Chains A and B, each alone.
Chain A
């Protein structure tokens, strides 16, 4: 079942698909749905990343329901309607936690999910289920290494440079207040709060970056898994 679901989602446009076992990580209300299908879509593919993610989630939910399993679709963070009943439960759940548990990547110094292949450029969505899928191997700690490009380039100096690991999930990686106030001040130019420098600068998955820079970054940030 795992392979065919992964196949189906990849065939329909998912960039990466992982399966996580979240037993012990979820709050009581949703604890019975302790497997997660984590779906990532490369933001650079097109403008319709969001609608693609929503479609993929529905596909995964249909797939699991048709086999008699329960599902709870957690929509992408930028597509949360707050007027539904179920939206009250969304805040209990964190996409990045599911993605790291599914081995899709780690939480980088910039506080974003870093995938070894695609860097911080994935948009995430999750489908929780009670299907007994065997989980993938989780990633337990930050693999950014010595690289501090995002720390150095952050215009609001909001990135602390601390490293994430699953055993210290509450370490402050980014001073959110400072990041937010900077984004707000950039509202005029972009029409909405916007920054994203820490995404652009990240050497992981930056394909159009000059080879020289990539090599030097790779040197700084060995993937020493």
Chain B
């Protein structure tokens, strides 16, 4: 028997549009749309140009990663995990590798700790550079994305030099990292950071002092502070509401406890504030990368010697390892039954709540033209929902 459809939004607050009245327009934004962050779609019900109801639909990029991982050896899953989040695959590599290491009792060398931190911060910068182009583009500002994608390409060049791959790196593996830094690499990183920093100054002037961007982004998608725990909001979306949460500080993983940085906070919690906060975090990221290059050991092993990975059997147990990615808490829950394959792996991506529950709530009352800007301001990425 088909049950009656129920909704999360309380009946008193939820619009109940009579679609046969002719007053409303039902429209789909996505799955292929310039204002959609990846392959997802929004079913919008609009009255005039105001959205009165929104439903997020995902699944267009479901690849069954979690099922596949149960059928493959622990090591064979590395080409899978990095593909769960294209803009920042390294966080997947780190969480999965760290979970295996924890269950197997593997300690990694000090140099590998710093190289992992370097890789994650480079990834953060590349991901933010892609985001800022999308954020500006969602409000009709096409120049920024040309600049920021160029800057991102410089960072991807660095990844190519370090790992051999531009998008998917498979650099972080159990026991450490796959290789040491090539000769001259750290100098190249510093050169690129100088160029990116100069470009960020330009972006700050052109985008954040632009009257149209300010008019459209200020007040858009306000997230009250009390929603942060109710909805499980993390990352810059929480910090823009003044909630000081950053796993780099809270969990103190890798080399972050040895780095000098403060959690950047906002107060206004709207699309403009979230964007401004991410810009500041990009500057912070550049600063962290310079600190890492200064402080990392120049000598030493980058990888613990481990037995043949095709024969690994990870001791039975479970763990949850999380890292602060650009969008918030990114985690891997891993269960081993003592065999040569994972028993269960589940991925906790921040978009799970940001793109579904939070987006559906914030979209109501928003102008159709601002939906794309709202979504990008939440920095969502659907494949980490679908896995």
- On whether the two chains bind one another, the answer is no
Interface residues of A (CB under 8 A from B): none
